[in-house]
Structure 1
């Protein structure tokens, strides 16, 4: 198990230019758990994650890691505890997969320290976990979107932080690889106790894999807690403006959202398992 760290947002207000995206938000991330943040487009999901990783300074309020404001912490110190996979990362032109994943080890390098066997092992393990070992010598810009996404996840894993923030980690991945990535993150959480916070668009995947679900609506938390309490028909209607039926997933036992389209309003709804 990793050490327990606390990550909280207190009276957080965020925005870009004259536009306010999040205002007066309070959030406590459960330590050692998987938290999924969901919400409609422009609800503030990515903005919140950017601030929690200190990429975006707050207009008011603060984000605290173990009681310390993240925006006042030295960058390298923060990076040894908290890792981030942003929504649209950019790789230097021509960089190989192995070199990019190796950059995840930079927070652990001192001024005079050299690359170690521990670094080699961390990179190898990250490549293996994301099934990208065979891509190690290829240039990142030659890869497909799905392959690149797995490589970026490998870099985040190589960083070996106790907290990991991921903005849409399943982007560009087909259904099979989406499940593989989410299973991988679950294994990391269960095996090492890594606290994981991820933004997901797929409500059903969020409910299936999260221990704690946060639903954002127009920059405010509409509901937060156990997925069975958050993913309700009323919540889906309020947050997404969508009529739905929520039943129990017969496989996971978690809530399963079935959207109701205009042409299916009269369709029969499956009984709960």
Structure 2
């Protein structure tokens, strides 16, 4: 189990060029739980995830993993504990599915170590979990968008980190595969205690699958906590500028957001 890992953000400021995206952000990721980050487009969700994984250096503040600043940790050491599935990753041209998933084992191999039976097992389990075994010998660039997304998730699983960050893992997937991927991440969390942080656009899937929700607004945390406390009509209005009704999901018991538009609203 991995509940002893801690990941937090302290006074974080992030940006690109002259543009500031996040300022003075503080948050704590609950260890051993599933956290979903939600918010309107361009509010800083992906930028935050990039900095938490050391891909983007902060202008101020810090990201702290187990008491150490991630931007001061050796990349390979960090990659043995924390994995990232970025948004729209790019595979090397011509690489097969099995070879791409196998690259998830790189952080576990030293200068002199060779590919091992443990590496074979990790790749096989990742392919099986994502239902991509039958794609193993195919070039990644020949796959559909949904197939490629499942292969990237398989690579992240093969890395076998205790913390896993995913930026919109359900992108390109139809609704059945969205649920399948989120079920898979839940299984990973419950069986191994893996701490999962993911950016999701679908508020209702975020509320159903996350133990902890973080709602960002213009680069700051508007609300954070259990879904029932965060996904409220007031929060949806403040964060998304959308009037809605929030009811209890009869399937999960979690909050369910029903958007109100100008049409198709019962009298």
TM range (shorter): over 0.9
Shift in Å, 1:4: 1.7
Shift in Å, 1:146: 0.1
Listed as ranges, the matches of 1:15-94 within 5 Å are 15-94=15-94
Listed as ranges, the matches of 1:61-210 within 5 Å are 61-210=61-210
Distance 1:147 1:190 in 2: 25
Show CA shifts across 1:166-209 (max 9, x none). 00000000000000000000000000000000000000000000
2:254 match: 254
Shift in Å, 1:3: 5.3
Shift in Å, 1:2: 2.7
Distance 1:54 1:4 in 2: 21
Distance 1:139 1:133 in 2: 13
Distance 2:8 2:226 in 1: 18
Shift in Å, 1:64: 0.4
Cα contact 2:15–2:22 (8 A) shared by 1: yes
Secondary structure of the structure 2 residue equivalent to 1:214: strand
Show CA shifts across 1:140-170 (max 9, x none). 0000000000000000000000000000000
Listed as ranges, the matches of 1:210-229 within 5 Å are 210-229=210-229
Show CA shifts across 1:111-151 (max 9, x none). 10000000000000000000000000000000000000000
Structure 2 residue runs of 5 or longer lacking an equivalent are: none
Q: CA RMSD in A?
A: 0.7
Secondary structure of the structure 2 residue equivalent to 1:264: coil
Show CA shifts across 1:44-80 (max 9, x none). 0000000000000000000000010000100000000
Shift in Å, 1:264: 3.2
2:14 match: 14
1:263 match: 263
Distance 1:245 1:221 in 2: 22
TM-score (norm 2): 0.99
- After the TM superposition, list the runs of 4 or more consecutive aligned residues in structure 1 that deviate by more than 6 angstroms: none
Distance 1:235 1:68 in 2: 33
Assess, with a 3 A threshold, how the Cα gap between structure 1 residues 96 and 205 changes in structure 2: closer, same or farther.
same
Cα contact 2:233–2:246 (8 A) shared by 1: yes
